[in-house]
Amino acid sequence: MSTKAERTTAYIIETVAPVFNKHGYVGTSMSDLTDATNLTKGALYGNFENKEALALAAFEFNRNVLLTGIDEHLSIEGKAINRIENLIAFYKKYDVFTMNMGGCPILNVGIDAQHNNKLLAAAAKETIKEIEGKIALVFENGINNGEFKLPVTPLQFSKQLFTIIQGAIAMASITKDRKYLLNTVTYLEVLIKRELK
């Protein structure tokens, strides 16, 4: 059973995670955080050393939610192609999945933190590499099981696939038009079947 302090810390992180994700590190004020949590500034800093530590914990929370969702879709029973198709189906509804987070944490934090928070920028970059690695492993397993061949290495193919997906997420987020995401991911379904021969 967790202590009251642990529960308070978890509550703060979970509550401020979408606030940081929506407004960015610089754009999130202490009053935004105290309003969201109904806690005082002193209570927040009693649990976190500073705003940067809280922002990093908030990103880690959203990152873990995202990675859990990806893992669930990549770990289904069946062949590698079924796992990739399941991942692509996940991204068809990605905007809905990330709605409570305040949008895509990779896109939001990755762009926002580039020039104002090196730790957050590094965490976003590391998350991208981790996701690409997870996808590459599925492709590698598919090749090793004789399911398909790839025109490039599994890691390169996963990077290209993830770049297309993240580009669609960016366009859908910027334009507020989810057709960018739906149309691109639908095209990816066709592309994957054609490429994985």
The tens digit of pLDDT for each residue in 63-89 reads 999 999 999 999 999 999 999 999 999
Nearest to 124 by CA among 113, 134, 110: 110
- Sequence letter at residue 143: I
Please say whether the beta carbons of 186 and 93 come within 8 A. Answer: no
Q: 22 CB contacts (<8 Å, ≥6 apart)?
A: 102, 103, 108
pTM for this structure? 0.93
| Ordered structural domains, the chain, with CATH | 60-195 (1.10.357.10)
Whether residue 142 is predicted with pLDDT greater than 90 in this model: the reply is yes
The tens digit of pLDDT for each residue in 84-114 reads 999 999 999 999 999 999 999 999 999 999 9
